[in-house]
Structure 1
Amino acid sequence: MALPTPKPRHVAVVTGASKGIGAEIAKELSRRGHELALVARSTPQLESLAAELDTPAHVITADLSDRAARSSLLGEIEARGLTPQILVNNAGFSTMGPVHKSDPEVEEGLLELDVVALADLCARFLPGMVERGTGAVLNVASTAAFQPLPGQAAYGAAKAFVLSYTRSIAAELQGTGVRATALCPGPVETDFGKTAGFTSKEEKESLPQIMWVPAPEVARAAVAGMEAGKVVVIPGAANKVGAAFSTIAPKKPLAWILAKNHPGLR
Structure 2
Amino acid sequence: MSEGKRQKTALITGASSGIGYQLAHIFARNHYNLVLVDKKEEKLNEMAEEFPQKFGIFVKNLVKDLSIPTSPVEIFDELQQASIVVDVLVNNAGFGTYGVFAETDLNAELKMLQVNIVTLTHLTKLFLKPMVAQGYGKILNVASVAAFQPGPLMAVYFATKAYVLSFSEAIANELEGSGVTVTALCPGPTATAFQQSAAMEDSKISSVNRMMDTERVARIGYSSLMANKTVVVPGLRNKILAESVRFTPRKLVTKVVKSMHELKKN
TM range (shorter): over 0.9
Identity %, equivalent residues? 36
- Structure 1 residue 248 displacement after superposition: 2.4
CA 1:120–1:113: 2 relative to 1, 3 Å: same
Q: Following superposition of structure 1 onto structure 2, how do residues 188-203 of structure 1 map, counting pairs within 5 Å?
A: 188-199=190-201, 202=204
**Cα distance in structure 1, aligned partners of 2:159 and 2:264:** 17
Structure 1 residue matching 2:96: 3-state secondary structure: coil
Could you tell me whether the CA contact under 8 Å between 1:151 and 1:264 is conserved in 2? no
CA distance in 2, matches of 1:68, 1:243: 35
1:227 corresponding residue in structure 2: 226
Which letter maps to 2:50? E
Matched, 1:89 2:91: yes
- Residue in structure 1 matched with residue 36 of structure 2 by the alignment: 38
Deviates more, 1:52-61 or 1:153-162: 52-61
The separation in 1 between residues aligned to 2:4 and 2:29, in whole angstroms, is: 13
Residues 209-258 of structure 1: per-residue CA shift (max 9 Å, x gap): 44x21100111000100111100111111111111112322110111122
Alignment-derived partner of residue 143 in structure 1:
145
Tell me the residue number matched to 2:25.
Answer: 27
Hey, what does 2:237 align to over in structure 1?
238
Gaps of 5+ in 2: none
Q: Structure 1 residues 136 and 67, CA, compared in 2 at 3 Å: closer, same or farther?
A: same
User: For structure 1, which segment, 33-42 or 63-72, has the greater mean C-alpha deviation from structure 2 after superposition?
Assistant: 63-72
Matches within 5 A, 1:63-102: 63-102=65-104
Query: Which residue of 1 is the match for residue 63 of structure 2?
Result: 61
- 1:178-189, aligned counterparts within 5 Å? 178-189=180-191
User: TM-score, normalised on structure 1?
Assistant: 0.92
Deviation of the 1:64 alpha carbon: 1.4
TM-score by length of 2: 0.92
Structure 1 residue 175: Cα displacement: 0.7
> For 1:151-230, what aligned pairs fall within 5 Å after superposition?
151-199=153-201, 202=204, 204-205=206-207, 207=208, 209-210=209-210, 212-230=211-229
RMSD: 1.8
Amino acid at match of 1:231: T
Alpha-carbon deviation of 1:120?
A: 0.8
Query: Which residue does the alignment assign to 1:50?
Result: 48
Q: Aligned pair count?
A: 259
Whole-angstrom distance in 2 between the partners of 1:44 and 1:222: 26
- Aligned pair in 2 of structure 1 residues 94, 264: CA closer, same or farther (>3 Å)? farther
Structure 1 contact 98–152 (Cα < 8 Å) conserved? yes
CA offset at residue 75 of structure 1? Answer: 1.1
Q: Secondary structure at the match of 1:28?
A: helix
- For the residue of structure 2 that corresponds to 1:23, the secondary structure is helix
Q: Does 1:263 find its partner at 2:265? A: no
Residues 147, 247 of structure 1: 8 Å contact kept: no
Q: Is the Cα–Cα contact under 8 Å of residues 22 and 218 in structure 2 kept in the other structure?
A: yes
Shift of 1:81: 2.3
Mean CA deviation greater in 136-145 or 255-264: 255-264
SS in 2 for 1:148: coil
Change (3 A) 1:224 1:139: same
